[in-house]
Copies of this chain bind each other. A is one copy, B any other.
Amino acid sequence: MLDYALLDALAAVVRHGSFDRAASELNVTPSAVSQRVKLLEERVGSVLVKRGQPCVATTSGALLCRHTERVQLLEAELTGRVPALPGGLVEAWPTLRVAVNDDSVGTWFIDAVAPFCAERQMLLDLVIDDQDHTAQRIRDGSVQGAVTTQAEPVQGCRSTRLGRMRYLAVCSPAFLARHFADGVTRDSLRRTPCVDFNPKDQLQKRFMRRITRAEVDPPLHWIPHVAGFLRACVTGLGWGMCPERMIASHLASGELVDMAPGKHIDVDLYWQSWRLSIGWLDDFSAVLRMRAAEFLD
């Protein structure tokens, strides 16, 4: 079999992005970690970690990390069933690494999974990315599950629909009066500052295409932060697409207004996870699907 002391060291370096932090997790010296990774690289015959800040896995390294994490999950499950196994062999708390989009973490995800994780003693390691890009994270093996807009199963994964997030184009009432007094048109959109989350965020562009049937290139604020994005809309920096559930109270209080009633954008979210049958992962998936139905439309 493979040498799991070496694989464990490799996985820790990639997880923490640093030999020092890996060493502190494994309770050994950084030079011991370095030796283990080097030895593994000699045996495999290729570089497994690009040294840097942070240290990143090469393609081969990522494959070995993915395998190691699967074995760790299986071991963790085994401990649950065979409590007499020496504790030193296995981690007491298994970690579930999951890619989730910002707006899901900002609205429903934590509330949906926290009770289950607390009860089953699972640790969450969230990788945050755009909903159109989380599927890439499961494809490259860096996470065990992903909340994504991609319906089609990634190879080796199951896909199930979680529900729908509805986005509304909103701004403050004063902003609407100042910039859209003559309506939300191609001309007013072109001149009016818009808030974008980051270059991956296509929601504002999609809304403008839908309204104007053209490409519009307005002045852009970049606010890659869920709470900051919402405050930017409330304080009149610009307009932006916000999840309906996140802004219900702002709409009710009149702090935000729907710029184009009926012109919402719906985003369907799916849960994709490894098909490898790991009890915990299957249970987590079942809970996530059930709880998501309460929070999503």
Q: Which A residues have a C-beta under 8 Å from some C-beta of B?
A: 16-18, 21, 24-25, 54, 92-93, 102, 105-106, 109-111, 114-115, 117-118, 121, 123-128, 193, 199, 215, 217, 219-228, 231-232, 235-237
Contact A227 B111 (CB under 8 A): no
Beyond A110-B235, A126-B223, 11 additional contacts (C-beta under 8 Å) are A16-B199, A93-B219, A105-B223, A110-B237, A118-B236, A124-B223, A125-B222, A126-B225, A126-B228, A226-B227, A227-B227
Say which residue of B93, B199, B231 sits within 8 Å of A110 (CB atoms): B231
Q: Which B residue's beta carbon lies closest to that of A114?
A: B235
Which residues on the B side are within 8 Å of A220 (C-beta)? 123
Least Cβ–Cβ distance between A130 and chain B, in angstroms? 13
Q: List 15 A-B contacts (CB under 8 A).
A: A24-B215, A93-B219, A105-B227, A109-B228, A114-B232, A114-B235, A114-B236, A114-B237, A115-B235, A118-B193, A124-B221, A124-B222, A126-B225, A126-B228, A128-B224
Q: How far is A227 from B245 in the complex, measured between Cα atoms in Å?
A: 14
Q: Is the interface of A mostly helix, strand, loop or mixed?
A: mixed
For A18, A118, A121, A193, the residue with the greatest tally of chain B CB atoms inside 10 Å of its CB is: A118
Q: How far is A199 from B16 in the complex, measured between Cα atoms in Å?
A: 7
Which residues on the B side are within 8 Å of A18 (C-beta)? 199
Q: Which 3 A-B pairs have the closest CB atoms?
A: A114-B235, A110-B231, A105-B228
Least Cβ–Cβ distance between A147 and chain B, in angstroms? 12
Least Cβ–Cβ distance between A33 and chain B, in angstroms? 15
For A24, A106, A124, the residue with the greatest tally of chain B CB atoms inside 10 Å of its CB is: A124
Which residues on the B side are within 8 Å of A125 (C-beta)? 221-222
Contact B110 A228 (CB under 8 A): yes
Q: How far is A199 from B54 in the complex, measured between Cα atoms in Å?
A: 10
Which residues on the B side are within 8 Å of A93 (C-beta)? 193, 219
Contact A114 B24 (CB under 8 A): no
Contact B225 A102 (CB under 8 A): yes
Least Cβ–Cβ distance between A248 and chain B, in angstroms? 15
Q: How far is A125 from B117 in the complex, measured between Cα atoms in Å?
A: 36
Q: Which B residue's beta carbon lies closest to that of A109?
A: B228
Least Cβ–Cβ distance between A80 and chain B, in angstroms? 15
Q: How far is A193 from B126 in the complex, measured between Cα atoms in Å?
A: 15
Say which residue of B16, B223, B225, B232 sits within 8 Å of A226 (CB atoms): B225
Q: How far is A121 from B178 in the complex, measured between Cα atoms in Å?
A: 13
Q: Which B residue's beta carbon lies closest to that of A117?
A: B237
Say which residue of B24, B106, B127, B217 sits within 8 Å of A24 (CB atoms): B217
Which residues on the B side are within 8 Å of A236 (C-beta)? 114-115, 118
Which residues on the B side are within 8 Å of A223 (C-beta)? 105, 110, 124, 126
Least Cβ–Cβ distance between A146 and chain B, in angstroms? 15
Contact B228 A123 (CB under 8 A): no
